[in-house]
């Protein structure tokens, strides 16, 4: 999702695949924290909120590419965000996580536990932190998303033209996206393509929950075994579609959920592995390969595992030998 605003002017939000499928009223309630629901519904009823220049009902479901126009309004949460020392510290931490940078884009190794943007009760995230420590930057926008608890490669566009081109590259499935995941139990197959449709539900608090459902969207993930341990299996997951929580739900569908997954995982297994030092979701976007938005040259980005995950893997290897 991209967002643009002029001081004292209207605000525009462009919807990406991550927010596609949500009702406009639920999206605005989540996005405009601190604004009374009654005012949000009044804005919708009076047509002050437009989608693709047209009036819409509160039950309208957003689609990727939709452009929302919000009328001029004061958002106190946004003002607080700009003065937040916590977001300033987040931004400084991110400056130490840079994997690659040029005039068109920036790639970071996003830490686990850090949201990509504010909303859903969160004051701020990656994009707000970077904007705060780079006040001179005229344009910084997320190209894609990672879940809050997932670490790894994340792209930020530094120019509007680069953002458009990168969105086109992602839409055309010209990005090779690979993740490392530690699955619960010993998975015996060397490789498997999971091809089952996923359906996204938005809970009352704005949280997303995804289920395998024939009525959902086509979703494909290729899993490849890298190493087997006594009670776990390290796999590489290659995303062939980009649905919300796709790898997590597909791993659970295989009967081997990702360790540390508190939403789709095995509660008892997670408790055992916390005792072994795993206190986060073991899912890491380790590699992105795609055409560069400026000249089409092949760009390959790799993000190392953080110390916690590396230490755990080393301990598992020693225990096995």
Q: Is 147 a catalytic residue?
A: yes
Specify the pLDDT at position 81: 45
Q: Which CATH number fits domain 176-320: 3.30.2350.10, 3.90.76.10, 3.40.50.11540, 3.40.50.150?
A: 3.30.2350.10
Specify the pLDDT at position 5: 45
Q: What CA–CA distance (Å, rounded) separates 40 from 118?
A: 19
pLDDT tier for residue 31 given thresholds of 50, 70 and 90: confident
- pTM equals 0.76
Specify the pLDDT at position 30: 73
Q: In whole angstroms, how far apart are CA 217 and each of 198, 212, 213?
A: 5, 9, 8
* Residue 188 scores a pLDDT above 60: yes
Task: Confirm whether 81-172 and 176-320 share one CATH topology.
Answer: yes
Specify the pLDDT at position 22: 82
Interval 95-117: pLDDT, tens: 999 999 999 999 999 999 999 88
The CATH topology of domain 1-72 is: 3.10.290
Interval 40-69: pLDDT, tens: 988 999 999 999 999 999 989 998 889 999
CA-wise closest residue to 233 among 180, 267, 187, 279 = 187
* Residue 78 scores a pLDDT above 60: no
Interval 118-136: pLDDT, tens: 754 456 789 989 988 888 8
Of the residues 16, 19, 147, 261, only one is catalytic, namely: 147
Superfamily designation of domain 81-172: Pseudouridine synthase (3.30.2350.10)
> Would you list the domain boundaries of the chain?
1-72, 81-172, 176-320
Specify the pLDDT at position 84: 73
Q: Which residue has the higher pLDDT, 26 or 273?
A: 273
């Amino acid at each position: 999702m991209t967002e643009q605003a002029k001081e004292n002017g209207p605000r525009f939000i462009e919807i990406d695949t991550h927010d596609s499928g949500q009702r406009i009223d639920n999206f605005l309630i989540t996005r405009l924290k601190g604004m009374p629901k009654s005012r949000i519904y009044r804005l919708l009823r009076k047509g002050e909120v437009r989608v693709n220049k047209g009036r819409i009902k509160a039950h309208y479901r957003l689609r990727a590419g939709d452009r929302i126009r919000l009328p001029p309004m004061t958002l106190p949460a946004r003002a607080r965000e700009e003065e937040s020392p916590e977001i300033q510290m987040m931004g400084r931490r991110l400056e130490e996580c840079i994997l690659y940078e040029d005039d068109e884009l920036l790639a970071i190794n996003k830490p686990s536990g850090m949201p990509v943007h504010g909303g859903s009760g969160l004051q701020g995230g990656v994009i707000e932190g970077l904007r705060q420590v780079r006040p001179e930057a005229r344009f910084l926008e997320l190209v894609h998303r990672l879940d809050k608890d997932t670490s790894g490669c994340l792209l930020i566009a530094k120019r509007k033209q680069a953002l458009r081109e990168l969105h086109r590259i992602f839409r055309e499935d010209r990005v090779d996206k690979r993740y490392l995941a530690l699955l619960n139990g010993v998975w015996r197959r060397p490789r498997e393509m999971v091809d089952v449709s996923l359906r996204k539900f938005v809970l009352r608090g704005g949280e997303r929950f995804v289920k395998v459902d024939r009525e959902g969207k086509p979703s494909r993930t290729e899993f490849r075994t890298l190493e087997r341990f006594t009670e776990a299996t390290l796999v590489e997951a290659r995303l062939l579609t980009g649905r919300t929580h796709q790898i997590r739900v597909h791993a659970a569908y295989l009967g081997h959920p990702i360790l540390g997954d508190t939403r789709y995982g095995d509660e008892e297994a997670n408790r055992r592995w916390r005792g072994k030092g795993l206190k986060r979701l073991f899912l890491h976007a380790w590699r992105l390969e795609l055409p560069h938005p400026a000249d089409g040259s092949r760009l390959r980005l790799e993000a190392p595992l953080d110390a916690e995950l590396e230490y755990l893997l080393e301990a598992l290897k020693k225990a096995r030998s």
